[in-house]
Structure 1
Amino acid sequence: MRLSTRALASAALSVGLVATVASPGHAAINLTRDPVAFVYAKDHALSLLNSHATDDDLAARTTKLASSPWAFFRGTSPLYYRDLGELPASAYATGGNDVWIMGDAHLENFGADRGADNTEQYELTDTDDAWRGSWTWELRRMAVSIVLAERQQGRTTTQITTDLNTFVAEYEQWISNFHGNSSELTYRLTSSGTSDYDNALIQKAKNDTRLDLLTKWTKLNGSGVRVFDTANTDLATVDSTTRTNITNAIAAYRTTAISPFTTSEAVVKDVIRRKNAGTGSLGRFRWYALLEGKTTAQDDDRIMELKQEVDPAPKQLAPNATTYTGGERPARALEWLSYQSDNKAGWASVGSVPVLVKEKSPYAEDVAITDLTSSTIWDDTIRDDARLLAAGQSAADQDLAGTGVTYSADAAIDNAITSVSGLQSETRTFATDYADQVTRDWQAYQAAYNAHQPLY
């Protein structure tokens, strides 16, 4: 059955795929690895770790990775950080080599949501790969994502060059703005201070309701009690042991949240496993727990997401940078890197599986590169993303307890950027050449997929 499904998907993938675009005047990157073998090893290890219980999601992941260079890059952050260890470091990595980074910076890891103070904002949305390392790792990864996304959307080389220069210049400007003061600690992008596209996401978030989310994932049973809707093909029932483990995890998690639920709010009404979610995390356990909410009414229930955490991709470059592990690492990083982020976020374990626990927000509206349809929208979005990266890295230093960073990150980075034009040139070259490499890696992966080679 699996081969039949994949064969059908392979036929679909053969139509309309992006061709390799060589970068004029640039030498090809030479790396001593087989990308297919590397990704296979990671995914096979996850399959074994989870005793094959998430192999359905791993199969879906292979289809997604084979679909485009953009999807392949999104889903293979460990390969990117492995390659950084072999490639020359940035000439500007002379300061700020030990700051908190989100780890998997790319255009679709940003979006709108309601902040902890009930104000909608544009923010970074994913800290699963958060770790301490060089700011240049983050800047370069984001730049590669810009190249790949713009190529997929048919943007010209000139347009891509302009946007890369804008991204680097905006990042440097805001690092400089934060240097010497503490404004980064309360910096945010709300409806009054963001671009038209990102403000449109904020307005969507304002119009979203909790009942909309509950209607998507749940139903009222014959007794009028809200439960998960098992007719939804993206949901799968769990056994009694897992149900008990999730209930226990919710109880334990309450002690880790900044603003914990009360005992009555945290009563678990139902649990389910979520399938087909994410790209880089597709193949990890992801469970939903339906909580009672503020009252016993059926329309104020909350959906909590419990997401399996593994070693973050940047850890291979700085294995001893921090001692935070499991779900605690991304939960704390979310607090430090994004102002007024989810104050219900915390951590626990489902049995032996470490998890990040967050509310499945009714107000989340993510960036989609297919919505970036003009040069103005690209420019605005890239600027906003650069500002948030700069603000997060600047805040998560000596100014915040627990980060372990004992100096001013913004001062160190600002001092390291001795030439904006030089950093722009270096970043353009790296991003373009590595995007070419990603395209070659994707072609190799797609060939293996079409040949029905085991990929997990």
Structure 2
Amino acid sequence: MRRTATATAAVLALLACTAPHAGAAPLLTRDPVSVIYDHDHALHLLNNGATDDELQYRTGVLAGSAWAFFRGTSPLYYRDLGELAPSAYATAAGDVWITGDAHLENTGADRGADNTEQFAITDTDDAWRGSWTWELRREAVSIVLAERANGRSASQITTDLNTFVAEYAQWIGKFHGNDEELSWRLTSGNTSDLVKQLIADSHSDKRADLLSKWTTVSGSTRTFKSDSKLQAVSATTRADVVNAVAAYRSTAGAPLSASQAVVKDVRRRLDAGTGSLGRYRWYALIEGDTSSTSDDRILEIKQQVDPAPKQLAPSATTLTGGQRSALALRWLANQSDPLAGWASVGQVPVLVKEKSPFAEDLAIGDLTSSATWDDTVRDVARLLAAAHSRADKDIAGTGVTYSADAAIDGAITSVPGLQSETRTFATSYADQVTTDWQAYVTAKNNGRPLF
């Protein structure tokens, strides 16, 4: 969001100089730099070095702040969960569908499939079947890191963590015994503060603004702009993307017609995201509903790899590639992007979604008051509770044959106990993240290979 750039920059500047709390000891003895190197080197090999420019850019992003480091290292988090003590409230590892990369900035406002603006989960690249406690803990760690960056006190962080856990448990209980999670969502009528503003901003957004940002019109032809973030592709890659778009159409929730999906231009998108840096990402400019250039659409086509939680539950589902992440988006978020689907660009499995003109991402720099924090952690907790409750026996194809909300509700035998356990884990692991980030910065400054 353009309006939050200054605030976010200030938060990240503060975060960059934040040290672990006094007396905090590392939780784990593994070398975090080696774990990240192994993950990123695998991408280097998988893509035959073709995305090394993105991997190099990624090293700078991860070194920029503890917050960015946490955002971009979900495989490290799940590796660590396999060594740390599990939650006393955890059920089986493959119990529910989770987003896999829960953190505050993976939520935002957008126009839903029914043209109503809503606040929702925005990223399912790491979606997998796993324990709901993995996700609750990861979101709680993100709250701690973001609040420390904002200079909030330990007591304020404790209050917000307690609120987050209690709200999650309350809404799991609300969804238990009915099907309300299938239709429930956050809109302007049941939100306030920052989330309500994001929804209002989404409502005001126009397709013309997104097209103006990335494309230009000459005569009756629209093409992508010459931009440092948009790299020209070879004729072979263009043909592969065109073929992928044609194949993808039948996989979308609301498939485009052949005329709507005519590809007008293709570019490789650079320097987008954090955890996905190092993967291929393409933009395809397509015709849209009419031959007018005013309703052209941009499809975002993103390479998919094994999700981070898979290492803890390798056989939880047989879904792979873009199909896994596209179906998870439909299951976890009500009224999600109807154009989400999957294909392969050459041999590269991809998730295909519309680059939405109406997207307004949550940015931690916007969380500027206790009231805003309180409302936001409540809304994020509700999103997770609804997501975990939705993708079960009530939706065909999930592979979950029972009520997920009933299983979770039954597992939460003590809300105060879950609050205490989550607080302890989140604050301790946030210390670990900061220690790991500092080790990564040192390795980068010393010229150690990072991918």
Which TM bucket (shorter chain)? over 0.9
Give the CA deviation at 1:326. Answer: 0.5
The residue identity in structure 1 corresponding to 2:371 is T
**CA deviation string 1:116-170 (max 9, x = no partner):** 0000000000000000000000000000000011111111111101000000000
Query: CA contact under 8 A between 1:123 and 1:338: conserved in structure 2?
Result: yes
Show the counterpart of 1:20: 19
Partner SS for 2:251: coil
2:6 corresponds to: none
Aligned-pair identity (%): 68
The separation in 1 between residues aligned to 2:34 and 2:253, in whole angstroms, is 41
Q: Deviations over 1:380-435 (max 9, x none)?
A: 11000000100011010011000000111100100100100000000000001000
C-alpha displacement of 1:220: 1.4
What amino acid is the match of 1:318? A
Which residue number in structure 1 is paired with residue 195 of structure 2? 198
Aligned to 1:150: 147
1:171 is aligned, of 159, 168, 178, to 168
Are positions 1:313 and 2:308 aligned together? yes
1:65 corresponds to which residue? 62
For 1:14 and 1:113, how far apart are their aligned partners in 2?
28
Match of 1:44 among 24, 41, 45: 41
Indicate the residue corresponding to 1:228 in structure 2.
224
Distance (Å, rounded) in 1 between the aligned partners of 2:371 and 2:94: 33
Cα separation, 2, equivalents of 1:97 and 1:353: 27
Q: State the match for 1:91 in structure 2.
A: 88
Cα distance change on mapping 1:356 and 1:449 into 2, 3 Å: same
Please report how far the alpha carbon of residue 30 of structure 1 lies from its aligned counterpart in structure 2 after TM superposition: 3.4
Equivalent residues of 2:18, 2:149 under 8 A apart: no
Partner of 2:157: 160
State the Cα RMSD in Å: 1.4
Map 1:245-260 onto structure 2 (within 5 A). Answer: 245-260=240-255
> 1:329 aligns to what?
324
The within-5 A match list for 1:46-445 is 46-94=43-91, 97-221=94-218, 223-230=219-226, 232-445=227-440
| Partner AA of 2:124 in structure 1 | T
Q: Are the structure 2 counterparts of residues 439 and 351 from structure 1 closer, same or farther at C-alpha, using a change threshold of 3 Å?
A: same
Which sections of structure 1, spanning at least 5 residues, go unmatched?
1-12
- CA pair 163-15 structure 1, distance change in 2 beyond 3 A: closer
Q: Deviations over 1:96-128 (max 9, x none)?
A: 851000000000000000000000000000000
Q: Secondary structure at the match of 1:122?
A: strand
Give the counterpart letter for 2:436 in structure 1.
D
**Cα shift at 1:16:** 7.8
Q: Distance in 2 between matches of 1:51 and 1:280?
A: 19
Q: Distance in 2 between matches of 1:97 and 1:245?
A: 35
Per the alignment, residue 6 of structure 1 pairs with none
Offset of residue 54 of structure 1: 1.1
**Deviations along 1:233-276, whole A, 9 cap, x unmatched?**
11100000000000000000001011101111010000000000
The 3 A distance-change label for structure 1 pair 16 and 425 is closer
C-alpha distance in 1, partners of 2:131/2:355? 31
Distance in 2, Cα, partners of 1:19 & 1:179? 41
CA distance 1:212–1:15, change in 2 (3 Å): closer
Aligned to 2:350, the other structure's residue is in SS state strand
3-state SS of 1:327 partner: helix
Q: Is contact 2:16-2:66 (8 Å) kept?
A: no
Residues in 2 aligned to 1:137 and 1:214: alpha-carbon distance in whole angstroms:
38
State whether residues 93 and 312 of structure 2, in contact with CA within 8 Å, keep that contact through their aligned partners in structure 1: no
Hey, which bits of structure 1, 4+ residues long, moved more than 4 A?
A: 13-16
Report if the CA contact (8 A) 2:252-2:340 is conserved: yes
CA deviation map 1:222-242 (0-9, x unaligned): x43100012x11110000000
Residue identity in the other structure for 2:59: T
Q: Offset at 1:95?
A: 6.0
Query: Could you list the runs of 5+ residues in structure 2 that have no partner in the other structure?
Result: 1-11
TM-score when scaled to structure 2?
Answer: 0.96
Aligned-partner Cα distance in 2 for 1:176–1:23? 38
**Residues 15 and 387 of structure 1: CA distance in aligned 2, closer, same or farther (over 3 Å):** closer
| Alignment partners' CA distance in 2, 1:404 and 1:123 | 23
1:455 paired residue number: 450
Name the CA shift for 1:15/1:133 in 2 (closer, same or farther; >3 Å): closer
